A and B are shown apart, each in its own frame.
Chain A
Amino acid sequence: DIVMTQTPLSLSVTPGQPASISCKSTQSLLHSDGRTYFYWYLQKPGQSPQLLMYEVSNRFSGVPDRFSGSGSGTDFTLQISRLEAEDVGVYYCMQTIEFPPTFGQGTKVEIK
């Protein structure tokens, strides 16, 4: 199975300040079709996970533009340009290039 490793595992950020989360995979997530099968989710407290980013850098419907994704191959980053209170929760990366789909351990983001 492809192992997804996130860093850091927790992050405390002052509102209005940027935040960054890294995710590394044990295999390249670049498919032969030229797409990269890498995604970010946010699980807000007490809620189900919600899709944030698809194929590295595409914001899903309704996701604010303060969220951005970058990376390629095996190294990826999620950046929040200015953290807001509603952004707290646990962020997960995920790959679907190979079965089974696998998630990172999660990064807990809280307000400082």
Chain B
Amino acid sequence: QVQLVESGGGVIQPGRSLRLSCTASGFTFSSFAFHWVRQAAGKGLEWVAAISYHGTKEYNSDSVKGRFTISRDISKNTLYLQVDSLRTEDTAVYYCARAQYFYGSAYAFDVWGQGTMVTVSS
């Protein structure tokens, strides 16, 4: 069964750090690029970060640049998001998502995890 399972969320004070994990199963992890997408309560979807299938390219949204780092461990089939210098506006459910390339460079997120909640509060 193809699935992604996130973990690592919690309640944390502003300025602190957290590492989110996303463990994949049911498919060849190393063959796919992955993204993190977040959703504040009652709000829409916001793209956060991406890592290429070979793991050599990383991308971040401007809102998290310099604070969030995406990485992967192929031996553990796990994607990570290191979130540093947390702010109250980072409070959200964080989803990991697999990028499926349908043709050429056209991709969409075809598998999503269940999400992990991060609450930044003093």
Contact = CB atoms under 8 A, between A and B. Distances in A.
Interface in B31-81: 35, 37, 44-47, 50, 59, 61
Contacts of B47: 100-103
Contacts of A48: 95, 112-115
A111 to B, nearest CB: 20
Interface of A: 31, 33, 35, 37, 39, 41, 43, 48-51, 54-55, 58, 60, 92, 94, 96, 99-106
A102 B48 CA distance: 10
B88 to A, nearest CB: 22
A99 B46 contact: no
Given A33-B103, A99-B59, A100-B61, A49 B108 contact: no
Given A33-B103, A35-B103, A60-B110, A92 B61 contact: no
B105 interface: yes
Interface size class of B (residues with CB under 8 A): 20 to 34
A48 to B, nearest CB: 4
A74 to B, nearest CB: 17
B110 A92 contact: no
B106 to A, nearest CB: 5
A24 to B, nearest CB: 16
A101 B62 CA distance: 12
Contacts of B108: 39, 51, 54, 94, 96
Given A33-B103, A35-B103, A100-B59, A51 B109 contact: yes
Contacts of A60: 110
A35 B104 contact: yes
Nearest to B35: A101
A48 B50 CA distance: 18
Contacts of B110: 51, 60
Contacts of A96: 106-108
Contact of A50 (B37, B112, B113, B115): B112
A33 B103 CA distance: 9
B44 to A, nearest CB: 5
